Amino acid sequence: MRILLACGAGLSTSILMKKMEKYCAGAGEELTISAVPVSDIANNVDAYQKDYDCVLIGPQVSYRLDE
């Protein structure tokens, strides 16, 4: 699975990213995960749709979900 995590600046989700990678490695699951600022998603929607199976946004930027 390829997951993109987005938050205000991409920093708080990088902590979550590392924990998810560690969990999946221990469970034998293949995972590609990246953390980016939510503004990057709005500027690169087409590229992200091709590269990721799932986009998760942090609760602090949920107000931007409609974008």
Task: Examine the residue annotation and report whether 7 is marked as an active-site residue of this protein.
Answer: yes
52's CB contacts (< 8 A; 6+ apart) are 2, 3, 4, 34
Residue 6: closest CA among 49, 53, 60 = 60
Given 3, 5, 7, 35, which residue is catalytic?
A: 7
The one-letter code for the residue type at 58 is G
- Catalytic residue positions, numbered: 7
